[in-house]
Amino acid sequence: MTQLHYREEDGKPLSQVIRDRLKQNNKRFWAGDNISEYVSDVEKDTLINEATTAFEQVLDTLLIDRETDPNSKGTARRLAKMYYNEIMAGRYDPAPGTTAFPNDSADRYEGMLVVRSELRSMCSHHHQPVAGVAYIGIIASSKLIGLSKYTRIAQWCARRGTLQEELCNDIAREIQKATGAENLGVYIQATHGCCENRGIMAHSSLTQTTVLKGSFKDDAGTKKEFFDNIKMQQEFAPR
């Protein structure tokens, strides 16, 4: 991996220096990929400045008067900060730290654990908001992580440009990594701005995706228990 310090004398925009760095390392940088190992915090500030200039150009091209319209004056910078620090933060931030607690004593927890996580994401195709909930179910292995960590991991995966199908896979993979659980399921129910605000203008459309691993996939009883748990959660807190 190459060094992470941008030198002015390179004479290239920092975003190009980092793209070259990613390509040299054969690191994919699609909208849903995490590239935190290749972008330092200091560089992120420079990238926000660079993106501000680029968004100014977009607003100018859209013929929006940035000089006299008070609402559009700081918009380019707001957009740049929002992309890096909020709606795409999961691309630039490293994975949330998770402390694992042992679950290997005689009275270890052997049941199913189902966590409901609020999600906010953005579709890669139109950069429109995706809003919904993920239900993450696992049968614990010999370790456990704190309950809030399931949601932190899910939100870290979601804060990128995603497709719901891929997001479901990403969350399952990262939860598997953090918990060591072989048996797990992820179910996401979400609304998509790209179907609501444009295109088919479907205000009540809802998309559901499911990823099942191990016994959640192969054992009908486990699978039923997972979906029964989701139903109970929905009765308790309907979306």
Handedness of CA 161, 162, 168, 174 (dihedral sign): negative
Alpha-carbon gap, residue 4 to 17, rounded angstroms: 10
- Total of chain residues touching Zn ion, rule CB under 5 A: 4
Q: Which of residues 182-221 bind Zn ion (CB under 5 A)?
A: 194
Kindly tell me which of 14 and 122 has the beta carbon lying closer to Zn ion: 122
Stretch that binds Zn ion, among 33-41, 85-93, 126-134, 139-147 (CB under 5 A): 126-134
Kindly tell me which of 31 and 194 has the beta carbon lying closer to Zn ion: 194
Which phi-psi region, left, alpha or beta, contains residue 64 (left: φ > 0; alpha: ψ -120 to 50)? beta
Q: How far is the CB of 215 from Zn ion (least distance, A)?
A: 34
Q: How far is the CB of 129 from Zn ion (least distance, A)?
A: 10
Q: How far is the CB of 194 from Zn ion (least distance, A)?
A: 3
Residues in the chain: 239
Q: Does 163 bind Zn ion (CB under 5 A)?
A: no
Q: Which of 14, 123, 163, 171 binds Zn ion (CB under 5 A)?
A: 123
Q: Are strands 207-213 and 143-145 parallel, antiparallel or unpaired?
A: unpaired
Q: Does 126 bind Zn ion (CB under 5 A)?
A: yes
Site string for Zn ion, 78-117 (x = CB under 5 A): ----------------------------------------
Kindly tell me which of 40 and 191 has the beta carbon lying closer to Zn ion: 191
E strand residue ranges, 60-145: 100-102, 112-123, 129-139, 143-145
Classify 121 as helix, strand or coil.
strand
* Cβ neighbours, 10 Å, residue 198: 10
Characterize 161-185 residue by residue with b for buried, 16 or more Cβ atoms within 10 angstroms of its Cβ, and e for exposed: bbbbebbbbbbbbbbbebbbbebbb
Q: Does 73 bind Zn ion (CB under 5 A)?
A: no
> Which residues have C-beta within 8 Å of that of residue 176, sequence separation ≥ 6?
182, 184, 213
Q: Closest Cα partner for 32 from 91, 86, 98?
A: 91
Q: Does 125 bind Zn ion (CB under 5 A)?
A: yes
Kindly tell me which of 123 and 144 has the beta carbon lying closer to Zn ion: 123
Q: How far is the CB of 136 from Zn ion (least distance, A)?
A: 24
Q: How far is the CB of 239 from Zn ion (least distance, A)?
A: 20
Q: How far is the CB of 87 from Zn ion (least distance, A)?
A: 14
Binding stretches for Zn ion (CB under 5 A): 123, 125-126, 194
